[in-house]
């Protein structure tokens, strides 16, 4: 089995400090959280940013400062979110790509998020992918459902520059695929051998789905974007605490944890 790539999704767009005071939102907090996660064993950091009021933002200068600060202090792979928050315009979602992060998320379908629609029109997916190809950014193809995965697979067939693909399976959103072993196994059955994938479980599903991925050869995403709890009713102290638990589980299962450079090799990032 490949070494395990752990992604830390440290902030997200929907979580707030009111829910967990340890949520990193300022640049300083995000840099510190990233360094702690890197030290704990994460090889990718998935980044959303917030404005000075703590609201979701896609401000390019802010992304630039954050990227520079992180790059100056560690070799973690930086992955920008191009999903932003529900309702963020496509121009704002695309703009930060000109900073050439090594990776960026690419959501390949629309889905209900709460009472709203997280909209990803085919033309917008196309535009995002075009920019990623232009700047040689490795996309992480986000899928929340089996149909979206099949769309993503067809999308790669028509964009061979994006081979080999890396998928993020998100389990347990209200309108997406539910978190279960059988659903995970069905998602995996659709993938070509050359494809890699990671698993993100929302809320209470984070830990069990991570366990399944560790023993199945998948990779794992944890962090406050998807889950702010350590266990039922008990808040996690930090993103790094959640990363450490995955490292421990990997070791128990005799699966090595990837360094950022090993992750680059596995994901074919030059």
List beta partners, residue 86: none
Query: Which residue among 30, 43, 81, 227 contacts ligand KMH (CB under 6 A)?
Result: 81
Query: Which uninterrupted H or E stretch holds 199?
Result: strand 196-201
Given ligand KMH, Zn ion, none, residue 113, with its beta carbon under 5 to 8 Å by kind, binds ligand KMH
- Residue 113 contacts ligand KMH per CB under 6 A: yes
Residue 223's nearest CA partner among 41, 100, 4, 60 is 41
- Residue 70 — φ and ψ, nearest 5°? -70, -45
Query: Which residue among 22, 27, 86, 269 contacts ligand KMH (CB under 6 A)?
Result: 86
> Residue 201 to residues 65, 68, 127, 170, 184: CA-CA distances in angstroms?
30, 30, 28, 6, 11
- Residue 49 — φ and ψ, nearest 5°? -125, 160
* Residue ranges of E strands in 85-171: 103-107, 111-113, 116-118, 138-143, 166-171
Query: Which residue among 41, 67, 70, 83 contacts ligand KMH (CB under 6 A)?
Result: 83
Query: Which residue among 5, 6, 13, 108 contacts ligand KMH (CB under 6 A)?
Result: 13
Query: Which residue among 7, 105, 196, 211 contacts ligand KMH (CB under 6 A)?
Result: 105
Segment near ligand KMH (CB under 6 A); pick from 6-14, 66-74, 122-130, 203-211: 6-14
Q: How far is the CB of 71 from Zn ion (least distance, A)?
A: 20
Give the footprint of ligand KMH on this chain (CB under 6 A). Answer: 12-14, 81-83, 85-86, 105, 107, 113, 118, 142
């Amino acid at each position: 089995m490949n070494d395990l790539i752990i992604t830390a999704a440290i902030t997200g767009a929907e979580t707030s400090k009111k829910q967990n005071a340890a949520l990193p939102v300022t640049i300083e907090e995000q840099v510190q959280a990233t360094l702690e996660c890197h030290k704990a064993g994460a090889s990718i950091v998935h980044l959303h940013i917030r404005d000075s009021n703590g609201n979701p933002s896609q401000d390019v200068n802010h992304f630039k400062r954050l990227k520079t600060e992180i790059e100056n202090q560690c070799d973690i792979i930086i992955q920008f979110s191009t999903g932003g928050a529900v309702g963020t315009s496509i121009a704002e979602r695309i703009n930060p790509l000109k900073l050439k992060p090594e990776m960026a998320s690419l959501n390949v379908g629309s889905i209900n998020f709460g009472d709203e629609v997280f909209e990803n029109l085919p033309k917008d997916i196309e535009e995002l992918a075009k920019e990623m190809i232009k700047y040689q950014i490795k996309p992480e193809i986000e899928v929340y459902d089996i149909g979206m995965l099949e769309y993503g697979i067809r999308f790669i067939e028509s964009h061979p520059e994006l081979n080999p693909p890396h998928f993020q399976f998100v389990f347990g959103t209200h309108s997406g695929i539910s978190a279960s072993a059988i659903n995970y196994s069905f998602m995996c059955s659709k993938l070509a051998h050359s494809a890699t994938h990671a698993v993100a479980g929302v809320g209470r599903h984070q830990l069990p789905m991570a366990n399944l991925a560790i023993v199945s050869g998948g990779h794992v995403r944890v962090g406050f974007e998807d889950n702010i709890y350590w266990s039922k009713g008990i808040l996690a102290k930090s993103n790094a605490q959640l990363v450490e638990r995955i490292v421990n589980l990997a070791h128990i299962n005799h699966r090595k944890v990837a360094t950022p450079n090993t992750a680059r090799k596995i994901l074919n990032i030059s």
